[in-house]
Amino acid sequence: MPRHPVHRGHPSPLGATPHPGGVNFSIWARDALSVELVLFDRADDARPSRTVELQRAEHRTYHYWHVFVPGLAPGQLYGWLVHGPFDPSRGLRFDGQKLLLDPYARAVAVPRGYDRAAACRPGDNAGTAMKAVVADVRRYDWEGDHPVRHPYARTVFYELHVRGFTRHPSSGLPERERGTYAGLVQKIPHLVDLGVTAVELMPVFQFDPQDAPPGLVNHWGYSPVALFAPHASYAAAVDPLGTLDEFRDMVKALHRAGLEVILDVVYNHTAEGDQRGPTLSYRGLDNRAYYLLGNDWASYANYSGCGNTFKASHPVVRRLILDSLRYWVKVMHVDGFRFDLASILSRDETGKPQRDPPIVWEIESDPALAGTKLVAEAWDAAGLYQVGQWVGESWKEWNGTFRDDVRSFLKSDPGAVGRFANRLFGSPDIYAGELREPEQSVNFLCCHDGFTLNDLVTYNRKHNEANGEGNRDGIADDHAWNCGVEGPSDDAAVEVLRARQIRNGLAVTLLSSGVPMLAMGDEVRRTQLGNNNAYCHDSELTWMPWDALERHADLRRFIRTLIKLRFSFDPESQDDDRSLQDYLELAEIRWHGVHLDQPDWSYDSRSLAVGFSAHGRSGRIYCAFNAYWEAMTFDLPPARTGWRRLVDTALASPDDARTWVQARPVEGPTLRVEPRSVVVLGTRV
């Protein structure tokens, strides 16, 4: 093919933009002295098929370097070589020998010999570096797809790992589809049957799988490289452009099933790590713009715990984040985002938290993001904890306090009753500010970080030896209780107690005010053998065990029934439109103990009861929580039509959870609540 002369090109838009007759390329590199665009035929090529030297006078506008190359088309592989001073004392880390990935790359080609270490050593690394791929994102038929947009009152999140969800041999999928976007599509019926309404995908941005201890792999994906490109190895497709289509096929299929797609996004750090890390992209383009640096300019501020911190206060970084969010909504049709270590977004250029961080307000007020779900993990690895203090009106928050306080109460810790009561009704002690809705709190007992639900009742302490860090990593205190035996047990009594504690946790999570979230595999008692930080394991330790489906069918039925109760909480509702959240917004709440209107808030209390009814609603509810190790008898409020047992975690399936139609009557004026159990009763007014 003849090589046509290149043209000046345009600084906007950033990235690689195909046009009839060629492609426009543009990057930001403020302090660069010279820039080369390098083109490749294949991902494994060590030598470019063409190098285009950009002329400063012609191809630079302000701090943007740009060029239009005729004759190129979607599918073209490319990268950048950026030359400038290497002076860490001034925060400059240019390395003109390192192939840099375009921060705006829409697709990424990963060579078979990808080598993170080569990007740390001196010398050329083109043959082992990721390469950007030109993509025409308009070439896709969405077939009328549109956002699902469930109201928060009718939302249940299900956090899952794309690869881990279907990688297990028992998934029943062809080998080629296991652990892929296409494989996830095959398991949509399971999600629909369970009753969840939104899948929260752990990171799907292209990340560095080698950012892990020696001999292990970065499985979770919290090590991003490209903020616009879906992770290539999660695709059954081998063509990078096919990865784009496969991801969108997955989104379209989930939408058709009524499921929203929420992305767990990492805008707080990148895979480049600290000063010892690789030069993959941002560091080699403009180190001072993209990262918060230490006082000596040579080191990196590490509020993420991962070696570096993205400088979200810088205009270029803010634009990158906003452009990325808009892209995933407008082009890839996702429904919302969960922001990993979101508190980092509030830090200014010195690392100090800002009262009104511009990037947070810009995300909230951006018209392209209006209507999307925005969820903050409102803390960071340096101790900044902003749960209940996050700015904005549309943001929701992962409520880590809900997790800790509910765990403490259920394991019978003293002094937990008062905190537990607040968690049941949307944490009013935390979210008491103006414009805060009950759904402000995303309630979860377990997530990817920490014990699985099964391990929470099976281990007292973490067992992370396989991570190669001397068991020093991971959460130090999971508020866990092993029910008397550390690890798996053949003792029938221990197993009965563990199963009950699991049901207790699920009942509280799914029937509390807020937005509930389940973690992948909780419904089949997935175990990580006590590892509470399994980020570096891509094995059966972290995969969904599909062969456990039938063994735990009763638990799945329990969850399904609780979600049905949550979404249809009024016994007289004919149109299924009165959710638990709708009911609680109008409810009058009365606290009880074993005697009516006499709650025990004392330090040694392990039990609580609550009744609530709403004006204009036909039903009343009474809940009893017994975290004591002996049975307790509670006085019941009078009920003209009698009480019916909706939930009793001490009973075997199917009596552990029933809908209003199925619920059986409770005889007498009192209720016996078995040790360590939760009971929910309902009555028609």
How far the first Cα of the chain sits from its last, in Å, is 81
Helices 553-567 and 492-510 sit at what angle, rounded to 10 degrees?
20
For the chain, give me the number of helices (H) and strands (E)?
14, 29
**Hey, which residues does 440 pair with through a beta bridge?**
none
SS3 of 289, please?
Answer: helix
* Structural tokens at position 46: 């060590």
**Alpha-carbon distance values, 600 to 192, 419, 485, 592 (Å):** 40, 13, 30, 8
CB 150 within 8 A of CB 139: no
Tokens of 369: 């993001």
Dist. CA 638–CA 613, nearest whole Å: 13
Torsion sign over Cα 413, 416, 420, 423:
negative
The pair of structure tokens assigned to 390 is 């996050």
CB 70 within 8 A of CB 89: no
Whether 584 contacts 565, CB under 8 Å: no
Of the candidates 403, 395, 380, 681, the residue with the CA atom closest to the CA atom of residue 516 = 403
Q: Which amino acid is at 556?
A: R
How far is it, in rounded angstroms, from Cα 518 to Cα 159? 6
CA separation for the pair 330, 506 (Å, rounded): 35
Q: What is the Cα–Cα distance from 102 to 15, expressed in whole angstroms?
A: 7
**Token code pair at residue 494:** 């221990």
Residue linked to tokens 């928050």: 397
Residues labelled catalytic: 340, 377
How is residue 311 written in tokens?
A: 């400088």
Q: Where are the beta strands (DSSP E) in 120-234?
A: 131-133, 157-160, 198-201, 205-207, 224-230
Consecutive H or E run containing 677: strand 677-684
**Cα–Cα distance, 578 to 310 (Å, whole number):** 43
d(CA 609, CA 594): 7
Rounded Cα distance, 42 and 37, in Å: 16
* All residues at 6 or more sequence positions from 390 whose CB lies less than 8 Å from its CB, including other chains: 342, 360, 376, 378, 397
> Alpha helices, DSSP H only, in 140-220?
162-166, 181-186, 188-194
Task: Tell me the helix, strand and coil percentages in the chain, rounded to 5.
Answer: 25, 20, 50
Strands 50-54, 60-61: parallel, antiparallel or unpaired by DSSP? unpaired
> Do the beta carbons of residue 676 and residue 628 sit within 8 Å?
yes
CB atoms within 10 A of CB 182: 22
Tokens standing for residue 374: 């925005």
